[in-house]
Structure 1
Amino acid sequence: MTPLNEPVKLPCGLVFPNRLVKAAMAESLAGSGNAPTPTFLEAYNQWGQGGWGGLLTGNVQVDVDHLGTPLDAAMHGEYSGKENNEALVGLWSQYATACQRHGTPSIVQLCHPGRQSLRVAGRRGVFAPTIAPSAIPLQLGDSMVQRLLSWLVFPPPREMTQGDIEKVTRQFVDASRLMADSGFSGVELHGAHGYLLDQFLNPKSNKRTDAYGGSAENRAKFVVDIIHAIRKVVPETFAIGIKLNSADHSSDSFEDTMTQIGLLMEAGIDFLEVSGGSYENPTMMGPEKSARTVAREAFFIEFATEARKRFPGLVLMLSGGFRTRAGAESAIKQNACDIIGIGRPAAVNPKLPLVFLDEKVSDEEAQMVLNRVPVPSFLRLIPLNVGAGLETKYYADQIKRFAMGLKTFVPGI
């Protein structure tokens, strides 16, 4: 039997029936209301029938004033409990049902973009600042033109006050309570890809001199406090995971990152997903790879392997680059991770596990090769990395296509 068919039990007791989990992707289907739409729900209904061990949703932003993109799903205000918010719970329960009606455990990825909120995304207004641990603007390049374009796309952030920190903590807790009351199996905090939690963890974006800055422990305090606060208000069986960056932490801060993982474990996380990249360095969309990395498939396996050595009891999910059953099996057999996260292939074939887990299907057939999304010649004139945005849009379009019953396509076809 392929090791991918083995179940994985989280510390909270939740069981994934196999090791293949649909990784989080931007669906861009929430509409102008920033809430699940019928097409949105149908996409998850299709994934729910796909044989996945679990589903991770795309970003659900904890504050509708601060969105990553204009079409993100989001919380619209405070949540004071099921009895006082029946309509709200009913709406999100439809989402949970769409994901789980076929028995697939589903985890909601909760996020705050911090300084990575587009100027046109969110209801704070196009001239209002974003928020961040420190008032360090996002820079998509070093030239004057790139700096100007960065300012036009992403408003400069203001440093968060203690009141801001307490408010965002409540927002993560409220969102977690709502997801638990709506019937989801857990939440994953997005602490990667340059979003707000990652901004606090990372010394490049966190220059604070108070209790939330400086040492590795201080930079992790915001995230650790959120985890403790969530654990107090959700059932013991409700999973709490976190997505953590590997690729944008330098060798100088590697030990700090290991220290922070230890703190996250002590706070009570049920799993850790290893990913990487940010808007400034979009490694999660696929780094430039050597022949060895291509053959291995997993983009961030070295980091995951080292984390496994340091924390053998930590349930690890590794996402980014898996395209074949053989590559996924190799990562499991190396003991680099417990769970395989698959993103873009799942946007083209929402039922991919039915192929990977069927041992009657040969290894040669159990794969999905994806080329880069081509960049139109006129966009190459823009002095910014537009490739990552095109990749995101392309696969969001494929999600919409299969949700509408249309054929999906791999890039270039």
Structure 2
Amino acid sequence: MNVKPTLFLYPTTMTSPLGDAVKLPCGLVFPNRFVKSALAELMAGAEHKPTPTMLDVYNQWAQGGWGALITGNVQVDVNHLGTPSDPALQGEYTGKEKNEALVATWAKYAQACQQHGTPAIVQICHPGRQSFRGAGNRGLFVPAIAPSPIPVQIGNGLLGWIVSKIMFTVPREMMQADIDTVTRQFVDAALLMADSGFSGIELHGAHGYLIDQFLNPKTNLRTDAYGGTPEARAKFVVDIIAEIRKVVPSNFCVGIKLNSADHSSSTFEETMTQIGLLVEAGIDFLEVSGGSYEDPKMMSSTQTQKSARTAAREAFFIEFATEARKRYPNLVFMLTGGFRSRTGAEYAVKENACDLIGIGRPAAIDTKFPQLLLDESVPDETAQLLLNKVPAPFYTRFLPAKLIGPGLESAYYGGQLYRIAKGLKTMAPSV
């Protein structure tokens, strides 16, 4: 499937392209280009279900004028979590009629997100080897699963090795039965979200999680049908998409978040090949992000004041998105990471790097950020939210920087989400 996105110009006095609506191949319409991208909410608690606190936060975003909301991770297996507070599926989902209470719980979440007409997309995920010890119901010493038994290594040197050993197990290589089980879990999660009234799902194929582990030759050393070539490494996710399409309505969105490649020729071409397979599988949009626990580009240092020319190219992964767009001009691209201003967002759209602008951390400070950027009475120099780096406590100097950086950022902005839920004023990092 290779359907060109349809743009609708709703009645408006704005000349900015950011207010354009975007229609996905499945028929779902985003009323503008701004998408609240996934954030780590850390709110599901011990039951791993949507909580009233989560609903309170999404109630605020639902009033923010977003084109769409993408939730934080919903793990497809409660035994394998990214954090102890992730929402997750507790077991096999056997349909709406047999799981009325479960569907009702998730339907409240969908209603909170979509009560004002904003489409909500659920990010579904399996952490694979990046499942922390103690995160999930499998036990401290039961190994995580992965395409190949390659452990996570955070930082260099002895301290990095010790921290990695404490936090993560050496993963067990997945057998065909494991692959079949996890595929079914992704399908179950997608069907549950469709039955609960969400507008779609996004497969998390970035940030070093399981789908990304299969796609990446550094973490997939298999020589069977799931490894050895770019096409074989994509088989896992392509099969998941095909199985999801069989059970969800035709107008249910199926997107994917994908890591941008390093700009070596071989890696880039392999990623382009894999994107082509995802397009053929019928994805509705592709979100470009980047990084993993070992190399957290998605938590790059935030921007301070810049010149107008530099600010125009503020997105972290814009070069990759621009090149990918040349290969797949009809694919709906969402670019996430680094957008802080109207100027930067307009630049990305006008340069044809993307159709959708993903906004993460600014959404945790200002739930109505799109309203600021879309308000034509606000001058460009004011239509922005500059965020400084989260200050690190003194003791973190003794810990691996690759762990502390993303951990501090996630914890800080997670704290802002709790403030939103309580109706308190949020605070941007001060230094």
TM-score scaled by structure 2?
0.94
Q: Does 1:174 align with 2:188?
A: yes
Q: Which aligned pairs between 1:26-175 and structure 2 lie closer than 5 A?
A: 26-175=40-189
Query: Which of 245, 261, 264 pairs up with 2:259?
Result: 245
Distance 1:288 1:179, change over 3 A: closer
Structure 2 unaligned segments of length 5 or more: list them.
Answer: 1-14
How far off its partner does 1:252 sit? 2.5
Distance 1:392 1:57, change over 3 A: same
Distance 1:246 1:32, change over 3 A: same
Distance 1:247 1:217, change over 3 A: closer
Match for residue 351 of structure 1?
Answer: 368
Q: Distance in 2 between matches of 1:328 and 1:294?
A: 10
Asked if structure 2 preserves the Cα contact closer than 8 Å seen for 1:248 and 1:276, the reply is no
Q: Distance in 2 between matches of 1:383 and 1:48?
A: 37
Query: Which of 383, 391, 397 pairs up with 2:415?
Result: 397
Q: Give the AA of the match of 1:404.
A: K
Q: Which runs of 4+ in 1 moved over 2 A?
A: 247-252, 287-295
Match for residue 31 of structure 2?
Answer: 17
Q: Distance in 2 between matches of 1:248 and 1:307?
A: 13
Match for residue 301 of structure 1?
Answer: 318
Asked if structure 2 preserves the Cα contact closer than 8 Å seen for 1:247 and 1:283, the reply is no
Match for residue 9 of structure 2?
Answer: none
Match for residue 327 of structure 2?
Answer: 310
Distance 1:384 1:297, change over 3 A: closer
Structure 1 range deviating more: 208-217 or 136-145: 136-145
Structure 1 range deviating more: 299-308 or 140-149: 140-149
Q: Give the AA of the match of 1:117.
A: S
Q: Distance in 2 between matches of 1:192 and 1:250?
A: 18
Asked if structure 2 preserves the Cα contact closer than 8 Å seen for 1:202 and 1:249, the reply is no
Match for residue 12 of structure 2?
Answer: none
Query: Which of 191, 212, 231 pairs up with 1:217?
Result: 231
Distance 1:245 1:287, change over 3 A: farther
Report Cα offsets for 1:147-188 as digits up to 9, x if no partner.
Answer: 121011111101001000000000000000000000000000
Q: Distance in 2 between matches of 1:228 and 1:359?
A: 43
Structure 1 range deviating more: 358-367 or 10-19: 358-367
Asked if structure 2 preserves the Cα contact closer than 8 Å seen for 1:247 and 1:275, the reply is no
Asked if structure 1 preserves the Cα contact closer than 8 Å seen for 2:113 and 2:120, the reply is yes
Asked if structure 2 preserves the Cα contact closer than 8 Å seen for 1:248 and 1:281, the reply is no
Query: Which of 328, 341, 357 pairs up with 2:358?
Result: 341
Q: Distance in 2 between matches of 1:300 and 1:169?
A: 29
Q: Distance in 1 between matches of 2:301 and 2:222?
A: 30
How far off its partner does 1:254 sit? 1.0
Secondary structure of 2:71 counterpart: strand
Match for residue 206 of structure 1?
Answer: 220
Report Cα offsets for 1:50-106 as digits up to 9, x if no partner.
Answer: 000000000000000000001111111110000000000000000000000010001
Asked if structure 2 preserves the Cα contact closer than 8 Å seen for 1:247 and 1:277, the reply is no
Q: Does 1:406 align with 2:419?
A: no
Report Cα offsets for 1:386-407 as digits up to 9, x if no partner.
Answer: 0110001100110110111011
Secondary structure of 1:367 counterpart: coil
Asked if structure 1 preserves the Cα contact closer than 8 Å seen for 2:159 and 2:399, the reply is no
How far off its partner does 1:213 sit? 0.4
Query: Which of 11, 18, 23 pairs up with 1:4?
Result: 18
How far off its partner does 1:384 sit? 4.2
**Cα RMSD after superposing both structures:** 1.4
Q: Distance in 1 between matches of 2:211 and 2:138?
A: 20
Match for residue 193 of structure 1?
Answer: 207
Q: Distance in 2 between matches of 1:183 and 1:73?
A: 17
Q: Give the AA of the match of 1:396.
A: G
How far off its partner does 1:141 sit? 2.1
Q: Give the AA of the match of 1:313.
A: N
Q: Distance in 2 between matches of 1:27 and 1:251?
A: 36
Q: Distance in 2 between matches of 1:10 and 1:82?
A: 26
How far off its partner does 1:247 sit? 4.6
How far off its partner does 1:383 sit? 3.2
Secondary structure of 1:73 counterpart: coil
Asked if structure 2 preserves the Cα contact closer than 8 Å seen for 1:4 and 1:20, the reply is yes
Query: Which of 295, 305, 308 pairs up with 1:281?
Result: 295
Asked if structure 1 preserves the Cα contact closer than 8 Å seen for 2:302 and 2:338, the reply is no
How far off its partner does 1:144 sit? 2.2
Total equivalences in the alignment = 413
Q: Distance in 1 between matches of 2:108 and 2:319?
A: 39
Asked if structure 1 preserves the Cα contact closer than 8 Å seen for 2:261 and 2:271, the reply is no
Secondary structure of 2:219 counterpart: coil
Match for residue 405 of structure 2?
Answer: 387
Secondary structure of 2:247 counterpart: coil
Q: Give the AA of the match of 2:171.
A: P
Query: Which of 311, 319, 334 pairs up with 2:336?
Result: 319
Distance 1:287 1:302, change over 3 A: farther
Asked if structure 2 preserves the Cα contact closer than 8 Å seen for 1:63 and 1:171, the reply is yes
Structure 1 unaligned segments of length 5 or more: list them.
Answer: none
Q: Distance in 2 between matches of 1:132 and 1:377?
A: 35
Asked if structure 1 preserves the Cα contact closer than 8 Å seen for 2:154 and 2:400, the reply is no
Secondary structure of 1:108 counterpart: strand
Q: Distance in 1 between matches of 2:79 and 2:318?
A: 36
Q: Which aligned pairs between 1:226-241 and structure 2 lie closer than 5 A?
A: 226-241=240-255
